[in-house]
Structure 1
Amino acid sequence: MSEPLRIVVITSDLVVEDPEDTHALDQAERSRSLRIGLLESGFNLIASLPADVFLTERLAQLQPDMIIVDAESDARDALEHVVMATRDERRPIVMFTNDHDTRTAREAVAAGVSAYIVAGLQAERIRPILDVAMARFEQDQALRRELADTRNELNELSTALKDRKVIDRAKTLLMQRQQLSEEAAYAKLRKTAMDKNLKIVEVAQRMLDVADLLG
């Protein structure tokens, strides 16, 4: 049986100082409902943290599997802190909010949020939402790895082509100046590289540099 997801919730200070502040009371109740829903759904809620300058260090210590941002009017600020805190070690991010601003939603998705949920705190919705968010994150990570591998392959191919051109120029130089065949010129480059414990392309480049210097 797999271990339950270890979740950190990012939220603002939920201490309601004014009992007449209905907005603050509603926000506190939303956050409480979210936590209850997570626990009832079998998730491991390991911490509730503010979105502050210490967030990166705290997440590094806790190593959660997923981050949930519970934000409303301060959604953009909270999201900015979370994105910066997970820049070097990406994790799935789910955002629960009452902010209906479509621009905020677009910014969240562009920043890497796996799921942006408006007014979706019903307990029965939490598990499928987080399951989909995790699947989307894993797919995104797989695509990123594939893209990185493709870039590496292209870089290696580009480097190999450049090296080939340098070696070919050095061979041509030897063939012209020492009246060697192509095979003999390459053999000479290879032997020099072995004797000096260098790569053939390094020997070829040094030879071309000297030739350019002497004219």
Structure 2
Amino acid sequence: MELAHTKFRVMLVDDHPERMQMLEQALAIEQHVIVARLDSRADLAIEVNLHKPEIIFIDVDAPGRATLESLAQINKLRPLPVVLCAARSDSETARRVVDAGVSAYVVNGLQPERVSALLEVAVARFEMQQTLRLELDAARTRLADQRDIEKAKGLLMKRRNLDEAGAFALLRRMAMDRQQKIGDYARALLSAADVL
């Protein structure tokens, strides 16, 4: 998800109407669009699917377990930048906030003139996290491919009496014939060998 513009669709979560109003005014000044106004009892995962915000902005006294679990679920299924402001926190809560995928966490000190800057920081940090996640997934895939290719080569060397180069060439040719990536074909070959 790439957020190239600076005007965001924001879902607000706050239990205090006067604080919510202050946030609404701060966001309106910067021409952000508020797509939902909720309290902390709302099921955030459902609301995200319903309203399709680009950012979630939560302002609470202290983040509750249900809120953090909802944010963790959103982070897995439909990752979004999240700004979480709390009046108080402790080290265990801070750890759980990070684990839930919160992009920006502010304790005891939200000022209206800083709301837009917080959104920009949250988006930048979110994009960085997403890039790192994609790079990690790609590295894991490459390692799995290498492992499975080596196993499939070993299987072909044993069953077809080939040397390593010949086994790799055969594996590559069979993958190309089936229009598959060599790692995917190696896994299919290993699965078929397990069945037989």
TM score, norm. by length of structure 1: 0.69
- Which residue of 2 is the match for residue 10 of structure 1? 13
Match of 1:152 among 141, 147, 150: 141
Counterparts in 2 of 1:105-124, with a 5 A limit? 105-124=94-113
**1:58 offset after TM fit, Å?**
2.2
Structure 1 unpaired stretches of 5+: 13-26, 176-181, 210-215
**1:4 offset after TM fit, Å?**
1.4
Match of 1:70 among 39, 48, 59: 59
Aligned equivalents of 1:11, 1:79: Cα separation in 2? 14
Cα gap change, 1:126 to 1:68, in 2 (>3 Å): same
Aligned equivalents of 2:189, 2:134: Cα separation in 1? 31
Q: Residues 131-150 of structure 1: CA distance to partner in whole angstroms, max 9, x if unpaired? A: 11110000000000000001
**Per the alignment, in what secondary structure is the counterpart of residue 76 of structure 2?**
coil
Counterparts in 2 of 1:182-201, with a 5 A limit? none
Aligned equivalents of 1:104, 1:133: Cα separation in 2? 19
Counterparts in 2 of 1:72-111, with a 5 A limit? 72-73=61-62, 75-111=64-100
- Which residue of 2 is the match for residue 212 of structure 1? none
**Per the alignment, in what secondary structure is the counterpart of residue 144 of structure 1?**
helix
Residue-pair matches, total: 174
Cα gap change, 1:136 to 1:49, in 2 (>3 Å): same
> Is contact 1:92–1:134 with CA below 8 Å preserved after alignment?
yes
Aligned equivalents of 1:106, 1:156: Cα separation in 2? 34
- Which residue of 1 is the match for residue 20 of structure 2? 31
Cα gap change, 1:139 to 1:202, in 2 (>3 Å): closer
> Is contact 2:68–2:96 with CA below 8 Å preserved after alignment?
no
Q: Residues 30-79 of structure 1: CA distance to partner in whole angstroms, max 9, x if unpaired? A: 22212211111221111112344643222112111111111114544323
Cα gap change, 1:156 to 1:99, in 2 (>3 Å): same
Aligned equivalents of 1:66, 1:92: Cα separation in 2? 5
Q: Which amino acid aligns with 1:9?
A: L
Matched, 1:168 2:157: yes
Task: List, as ranges, runs of 4+ consecutive aligned residues in structure 1 with deviation greater than 4 Å.
Answer: 199-203
Q: Report the RMSD for the aligned CA atoms in angstroms.
A: 3.1
Q: Which amino acid aligns with 2:7?
A: P
Cα gap change, 1:145 to 1:74, in 2 (>3 Å): closer
**1:106 offset after TM fit, Å?**
2.5
**1:86 offset after TM fit, Å?**
4.0
**1:202 offset after TM fit, Å?**
4.6
> Is contact 1:72–1:99 with CA below 8 Å preserved after alignment?
yes
- Sequence identity (%): 28
TM score, norm. by length of structure 2: 0.75
Name whichever of 142-151 and 116-125 sits farther off: 116-125
